């Protein structure tokens, strides 16, 4: 692939003439070899070099830096991580508050580094609104969600309830019933951040080999088509792409397709209709993971989670199928009917990794020389920064606050990671759960649905949701 502008709207907004960096052509030896130039790999290289400039680091990337989820996502930089309840189990309130401090500090850290390194990624710290809208059932989900976060130790200053009128001040979504405002979220142009970071680490002395695919890694050697890399430490940072590597670790994360559309820049009148004046990130409380924000150039970016392909196949096509496109349009207009007829200039999809543990991990195993960070389950834009900082500290054997965090495991990866069920159970399971979520959404969103149908749909969805870590 040589023309990268169709990877995502974000890539299309970059300089059009991106040339891949040179590939690996020989066998080499380095201190640290990183597989994958997404946020995890790039941030890890950055924090390693910051602390130990003489470390030799090579990143190998099968396409170009930012080509994966990091250059295609919804642009939410979240000061939170998935699976927090599982992670906080057994911790005292004081310990949980220490974790919360680390997690909620992500946005400020990224802000500080991007300013220091002159990476312009359109970062806008506008918080996020989780709304209850379109149907009554969402109101309970919003209240449950607020109780959940307060139960973990977050305060009203972090997560606070909004009335319907207050929510509408942020976003005028159809049938708004109320919401939650969370201040620890910013929006970015993720391709600008990934490409900017890749230039930054390169300037610090990291070598990035693009168009170089790793086939396997073992015994401190990464094998590629063009040569081998011997390294003291290997950091596989391939999140949604594990199924493409020959490794016994690959079944712990499956590739999930996630889809987005971007409108043409909207007019001031259109924005007055739908809100977003302060440019918050936005989602409602559907189980279909719908989310949106207003880009720096005034487009509405709208996305929802998609499908899983049999045998963890990774989707090569970047654009949406006609069915996916129709679904997104219908969904977006259900939120914002005044956008009927608006031009969609971009549609694209990407691959995120869903970990069977349902919560992120940093695993450092000095015996095998492996350091693994990931398991973001679709929320890795911010989490990758925090976990990369942790990974760097572990590799450098520093005793820091980060290395005591509950996502850290000093064990062999196989003893920490769980495997997904084998096929066809994996595929059938995912498909069934998604179908039930879609059915629940349709039933709830239909004012004529009888009570028994709603009750059945809720019961089925509630039973199945934990199987995907929701
Ligand atoms: C459509 C979409 C929307 C999302 N929205 C959000 C959001 O708004 N907020 C949020 O927090 N998260 C979001 N996510 C998730 C987030 O983007 C990811 O969690 C995060 O970018 C993961 O970064 P990473 O570096 O671990 O993986 P990636 O960015 O996927 O990087 C992995 C890299 O490894 C390369 N690679 C793969 N296999 C090999 C190999 N064998 N050899 C060499 N290189 C290889 C790939 O080309 C890729 O560049 C979204 C994801 C998608 C797909």
Residue pLDDT, tens place only, 413-444: 999 999 999 999 999 999 999 999 999 999 99
Q: Which two tokens stand for residue 376?
A: 């973001």
Predicted pLDDT at 131: 97
Same-domain pairing of 133 and 245: no
Distance CA 290, CA 171 (A): 14
Average pLDDT over residues 247-275: 96
Q: Whose CA is nearest to atom 53 of ligand 1?
A: 350
Ligand 1 atom closest to the CA of 63, numbered from 1: 47
Could you tell me if the CB of 354 is within 6 A of ligand 1? no
Average pLDDT over residues 93-97: 93
**Chain-wide mean pLDDT for the chain?**
96
Could you tell me if the CB of 186 is within 6 A of ligand 1? no
Single residue among 398, 416, 434 that ends a domain in this structure: 416
Q: Whose CA is nearest to atom 15 of ligand 1?
A: 378
Residue pLDDT, tens place only, 263-298: 999 999 999 999 999 999 999 999 998 999 999 999
Q: Residue 308's domain is classified under what CATH number?
A: 3.30.9.10
Predicted pLDDT at 16: 80
Domain annotation covers residue 104: no
Distance CA 280, CA 22 (A): 39
Banded pLDDT at 15 (limits 50, 70, 90): confident
Whether residue 398 has pLDDT greater than 70: yes
Same-domain pairing of 182 and 291: yes
Whether residue 92 has pLDDT greater than 60: yes
Residue pLDDT, tens place only, 109-133: 999 999 999 999 999 999 999 999 9
Domain annotation covers residue 391: yes
Ligand 1 atom closest to the CA of 258, numbered from 1: 1
Predicted pLDDT at 1: 57
Domain annotation covers residue 278: yes
Could you tell me if the CB of 302 is within 6 A of ligand 1? no
By residue range, what is the domain housing residue 236? 9-73+190-254+357-416
Residue in 36, 45, 194, 282 to alter for ligand 1 test, most ligand atoms within 8 A of Cβ: 36
- Tell me how far apart the terminal alpha carbons of the chain are, to the nearest angstrom: 35
Single residue among 333, 352, 371 that ends a domain in this structure: 352
Ligand 1 atom closest to the CA of 213, numbered from 1: 42
Domain annotation covers residue 248: yes
Same-domain pairing of 132 and 208: no
Could you tell me if the CB of 40 is within 6 A of ligand 1? yes
Residue pLDDT, tens place only, 21-38: 999 999 999 999 999 999
Residue 93 C-beta-side C-alpha neighbours within 13 Å: 5
Provide long-range contacts, Cβ within 8 A and 24+ apart, for 316-324. 317/349, 318/6, 318/7, 318/8, 318/348, 318/349, 319/6, 319/347, 319/348, 319/349, 320/259, 320/261, 320/347, 320/348, 320/349, 324/259, 324/349
Could you tell me if the CB of 67 is within 6 A of ligand 1? yes
Predicted pLDDT at 470: 74
Average pLDDT over residues 181-200: 98
Banded pLDDT at 226 (limits 50, 70, 90): confident
Same-domain pairing of 319 and 288: yes
Average pLDDT over residues 217-232: 96
Domain annotation covers residue 79: no
Select from 208, 154, 147, 214 the least CA-distant residue to 182.
154
Predicted pLDDT at 2: 61
Using alpha carbons only, what angle is made at residue 143 by residues 138 and 147, rounded to the nearest 5 degrees?
A: 145
Domain annotation covers residue 27: yes
Distance CA 385, CA 109 (A): 8
Helix (H/G/I), strand (E/B), else coil: 294: strand
Domain annotation covers residue 113: no
Residue in 1, 38, 218 to alter for ligand 1 test, most ligand atoms within 8 A of Cβ: 38
The DSSP symbol for 275 reads B
Predicted pLDDT at 466: 83
Q: Residue 383's domain is classified under what CATH number?
A: 3.50.50.60
Domain annotation covers residue 365: yes
Q: What is the DSSP string of 91-119?
A: --HHHHHHHHHHHHTHHHHHHHHHHHTT-
Task: State percent of the chain over pLDDT 90.
Answer: 93
Chain-centroid distance of CA 337 in Å reads 28
Q: Are 128 and 282 in contact (CB under 8 A)?
A: yes
Give the Å distance between the CA of 367 and the centre of ligand 1.
27
Could you tell me if the CB of 376 is within 6 A of ligand 1? yes
Helix (H/G/I), strand (E/B), else coil: 183: coil
Could you tell me if the CB of 352 is within 6 A of ligand 1? yes
Banded pLDDT at 375 (limits 50, 70, 90): very high
Same-domain pairing of 409 and 263: no
Same-domain pairing of 144 and 289: yes
Could you tell me if the CB of 360 is within 6 A of ligand 1? no
Q: Are 353 and 254 in contact (CB under 8 A)?
A: yes
Predicted pLDDT at 468: 80
Ligand 1 atom closest to the CA of 349, numbered from 1: 1
Same-domain pairing of 217 and 266: no
Task: Compute CA distances 292 → 50, 94, 338, whole Å.
Answer: 34, 34, 15
Same-domain pairing of 270 and 299: yes
Distance CA 381, CA 287 (A): 20
Residue pLDDT, tens place only, 68-81: 999 999 999 999 99
Distance CA 427, CA 436 (A): 14
Structural domain count of the chain: 3
Residue in 236, 238, 315 to alter for ligand 1 test, most ligand atoms within 8 A of Cβ: 238
Same-domain pairing of 304 and 450: no
Same-domain pairing of 342 and 265: yes
Could you tell me if the CB of 73 is within 6 A of ligand 1? yes
Could you tell me if the CB of 275 is within 6 A of ligand 1? no
Could you tell me if the CB of 250 is within 6 A of ligand 1? no
């Amino acid at each position: 692939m040589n023309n990268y502008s169709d990877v995502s709207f974000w890539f299309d907004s970059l300089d059009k003439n991106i040339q891949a960096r040179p590939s690996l052509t020989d066998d080499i030896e380095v201190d640290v070899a990183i597989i994958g130039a997404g946020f995890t790999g790039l941030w890890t290289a950055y924090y390693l070099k910051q602390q130990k400039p003489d470390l030799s680091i090579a990143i190998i990337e099968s396409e170009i830096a930012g080509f994966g989820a990091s250059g295609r996502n919804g642009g939410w930089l979240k000061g939170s991580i998935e699976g927090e309840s599982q992670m906080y189990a057994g911790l005292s309130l004081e310990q949980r508050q220490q974790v919360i401090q680390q997690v909620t500090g992500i946005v400020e850290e990224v802000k500080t580094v991007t300013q220091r390194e002159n990476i312009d990624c359109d970062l806008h710290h506008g918080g996020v609104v989780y709304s209850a809208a379109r149907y009554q059932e969402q109101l309970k989900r919003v209240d449950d969600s607020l109780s959940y976060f307060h139960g973990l130790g977050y305060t009203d200053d972090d997560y606070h309830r909004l009335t319907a009128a207050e929510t509408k001040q942020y976003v005028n979504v159809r049938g708004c019933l109320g919401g939650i405002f969370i201040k620890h979220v910013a929006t970015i142009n993720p391709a600008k951040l990934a490409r900017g970071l890749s230039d930054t680490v390169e300037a610090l002395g990291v070598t990035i080999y693009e168009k170089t695919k790793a086939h396997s890694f073992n015994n401190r050697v990464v094998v590629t088509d063009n040569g081998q890399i011997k390294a003291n430490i290997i950091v596989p940072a391939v999140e949604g792409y594990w199924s493409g590597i020959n490794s016994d670790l690959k079944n712990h994360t499956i590739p999930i397709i996630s889809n987005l559309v971007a409108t043409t820049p909207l007019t001031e009148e259109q924005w007055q209709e739908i809100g977003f004046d302060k440019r918050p990130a936005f989602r409602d409380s559907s189980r279909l993971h719908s989310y949106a924000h207003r880009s720096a150039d005034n487009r509405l970016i709208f996305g929802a989670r998609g499908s899983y392909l049999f045998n963890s196949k990774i989707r090569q096509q970047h654009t949406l199928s006609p069915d996916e496109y129709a679904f997104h349009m219908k969904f977006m207009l259900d939120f914002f009917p005044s956008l009927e007829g608006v031009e969609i200039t971009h549609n694209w999809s990407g691959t995120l990794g869903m970990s069977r543990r349902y919560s992120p991990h940093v695993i450092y195993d000095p015996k095998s020389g492996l350091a693994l960070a990931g398991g973001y389950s679709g929320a890795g834009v911010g989490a990758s920064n925090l976990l990369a900082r942790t990974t760097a500290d572990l590799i450098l054997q520093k005793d820091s606050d980060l290395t005591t965090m509950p996502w850290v495991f000093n064990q062999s990866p196989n003893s920490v990671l769980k495997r997904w069920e084998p096929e066809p159970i994996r595929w059938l399971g995912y498909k069934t759960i998604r179908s039930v979520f879609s059915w629940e959404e349709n039933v709830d969103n239909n004012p004529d649905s009888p009570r028994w149908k709603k009750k059945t749909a809720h019961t089925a969805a509630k039973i199945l949701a934990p199987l995907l870590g929701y």
